[in-house]
Structure 1
């Protein structure tokens, strides 16, 4: 047995302001590359990691843990080797661990002739997220696996819905070269919110989902508001308020924290506006002395892609 595949495992933006742990979308221009092979030796081995200082030990690596969860359910002795070429920096807030987890289980499932459904793959990939952050959330792995925008309607039982992607929607992401660990970012979150905050947040989630399906860009923009998480997490991100103001002033529909940060995302209608937004937020960060990356992307409606079989 020597079946092998090379894939593109995309970056993702989770939460999308109002949808903490339930909403996410998939990027097209940034992601990891992985080579996954089936072998006759019944063990999961991480044989190479390029671009990041991550553990090769299977039980310490999110891709290894996710694949082991899949193989446990598969109930046949199969060996897997994994090479990871990291393009998404750890702690960036654009789904670095999710790309590895989702990419690995997607590729193994493909090589095994797809014995598992998309919902089952999400559950396996969530085991990698649990290792990375202590919480088995699906808002990054779901859009990586399904593409486009996704909504986690329920965790128990797991129920993930793929949403519509308006054709002119673009996303701009700035990634400051600082690390905000998901575990640290979660530690600042309050466990209780007021009924008034909850009502406002529910309305925004419903508005955003409705805006995506009706392709009402103004409704999408009005709904990109987070009254619960952003006020607490934004203090961890240098110049967050200035970046948000610059993005909105340049025509962005809305702007918020990508995942747990420090990346900041902005949704726009059309690539021209997305580029103006990129220029505006670049101007803000150029004055900070911090290194940063900026990505402009359409929404990737396919998710993980095959590079070579």
Structure 2
């Protein structure tokens, strides 16, 4: 195989209470990438459609992620040409840099004959995240590569596990067309938290995981509460509290800030509820004078997918 085309899904990180440890993959939106083997050693990014991002592979998350893979593979005479079709807006909070990083390493791994497992690819994709945000976090790239819900149990050593995805769980995401940089959103976070808040957060994380395995939608709903990060970051998102309240009234199980924002996600049981939530999001945002996009999606349980 000399050429491959992949779909790399958008992702929701944090999933309310799961800051930096829980993420999920979406069916839409997602990026597409074409990666070709080359006789000329090195990495070249030939074109990026849909976003103004660096073509220099040392300054592009896809190039950095591929380079991390090749260093481990100890390949010095291989070359790759990469073309990226960006459908996930950078700074959207739904895993734009993660999609490019994840898609790149999965594609190159396929062209090399799959020397690495999908879980091993997560570490390489994390280097793209390091370039994008200054932190090599895995809560976006892990679900992008592995699909479904993922839990980062530990970073040292890296220990990632997949979590059961209830078959009737849907996601509705609204992306206000404003930019919130992950690095900026991290800077406003408190470095110390109250023990009482930590205990409540731990309980919610554990109960969310239990609810997903049990397909207990009531327990999932009760667990989608973030008492540590959301109270601070929500000030960056227009009409956040009104949006969250009205979406729950419309039938959402709950939700919160997707990644570092500005996107907001809501989980629902069933497509009908998810589309009611989308209509409510539209009602809240239409009068604000802020451009936005709304996505309704099932959980993507496959992750990065070869499409050509």
Instruction: Place the TM-score, normalised by the shorter chain, in its bin.
Output: over 0.9
Aligned to 2:59: 60
**Structure 1: gaps (5+ residues):** none
Aligned to 1:5: 4
1:119/1:159 contact within 8 Å kept: no
Instruction: State the alpha-carbon separation in 2 of the partners of residues 233 and 257 from structure 1.
Output: 8
1:177/1:292 contact within 8 Å kept: yes
Instruction: State the alpha-carbon separation in 2 of the partners of residues 68 and 82 from structure 1.
Output: 13
The aligned runs of 1:146-295 (5 Å cut-off) are 146-295=146-295
SS at match of 1:60: coil
Aligned to 2:35: 36
Instruction: State the alpha-carbon separation in 1 of the partners of residues 200 and 73 from structure 2.
Output: 43
SS at match of 1:233: helix
Q: Could you tell me how far 1:37 is from its partner in structure 2?
A: 1.0
Aligned to 1:115: 115
SS at match of 2:137: coil
Moved more, 255-264 or 74-83: 74-83
Q: Could you tell me how far 1:306 is from its partner in structure 2?
A: 1.2
Aligned to 1:301: 301
**Structure 2: gaps (5+ residues):** none
2:9/2:144 contact within 8 Å kept: yes
Count of aligned pairs between the two proteins: 307
Q: CA RMSD in A?
A: 0.7
Instruction: State the alpha-carbon separation in 1 of the partners of residues 198 and 185 from structure 2.
Output: 20
Aligned to 1:131: 131
2:30/2:88 contact within 8 Å kept: yes
What are the superposed Cα offsets for residues 78-111 of structure 1, whole Å, 9 maximum, x if unpaired?
A: 1011100000000000000000000000010011
SS at match of 1:126: helix
Instruction: State the alpha-carbon separation in 2 of the partners of residues 279 and 26 from structure 1.
Output: 22
1:24 aligns with 2:37: no
2:20/2:137 contact within 8 Å kept: yes
State TM-score, norm by structure 2: 0.99
Instruction: State the alpha-carbon separation in 2 of the partners of residues 187 and 256 from structure 1.
Output: 19
2:212/2:220 contact within 8 Å kept: yes
2:119/2:146 contact within 8 Å kept: no
1:119/1:158 contact within 8 Å kept: no
Instruction: State the alpha-carbon separation in 2 of the partners of residues 142 and 110 from structure 1.
Output: 17
2:102/2:125 contact within 8 Å kept: yes
Moved more, 234-243 or 115-124: 115-124
